[in-house]
Amino acid sequence: MNELGTIWGRQVYKKNSLKETNLHPFSKRNQNALVLVPCCKQKSVSPFQGQFQQPLHGLQPLRNQLLQQVQQTPNLAALPQNNQGILNPNAPLTRAVDLYVGKFYQVAGAILRGILTGRYPSVHILIVSAFYGLVRLGEGLKEYELQMGNRLQNGLKVYKFWQQLGLWQILHNYIVFNYIAYVWSLLPVPYHRVFSNLWKALRNTQIHCYHVQAPRAGRSISRIRARWLVDIIRINPNYLIAAPFPPNQLGSIPYNFHYHRC
State how far the Cα of 144 lies from the Cα of 39, in Å rounded to an integer: 11
Question: What number of other Cβ atoms are within 10 A of residue 137's Cβ?
Answer: 20
DSSP E strands, the chain: 4-7, 10-13, 32-38, 94-95, 123-129, 133-135, 140-141, 180-185, 208-213, 258-261
Specify the amino acid at residue 79: L
Q: Find the mean pLDDT for residues 8-17.
A: 41
Q: Give the C-alpha separation, 106 to 256, whole Å.
A: 22
Span 52-63, pLDDT tens digits: 999 999 999 999
Q: Output the pLDDT for position 7.
A: 35
- The pLDDT, as a whole number, for residue 18 is 32
97 and 140 in contact (C-beta within 8 Å)? no
Q: Would the CA dihedral through 226, 229, 231, 234 be positive or negative? A: negative
262, 199 contact by CB (below 8 A) = yes
Q: Please, which pLDDT band fits residue 6 given cuts at 50, 70 and 90?
A: very low
Give the tens place of pLDDT for each residue, 88-115: 999 999 999 999 999 999 999 999 999 9
Supply the pLDDT for residue 88: 98
Residue 80: give the domain boundaries.
4-261
pLDDT at residue 25, rounded to an integer: 36
**pLDDT for 192-250, tens place per residue?**
999 999 999 999 899 999 999 998 888 899 999 999 999 999 999 999 999 999 999 98
The fraction of the chain above a pLDDT of 70, given in percent, is 88
User: How many domains are contained in the chain?
Assistant: 1
Q: What is the mean pLDDT of the chain?
A: 89
The partner residues of 94 in beta bridges, in order of sequence, read: 141
Burial label for 224, CB within 10 Å (0-12, 13-18, 19+), is buried
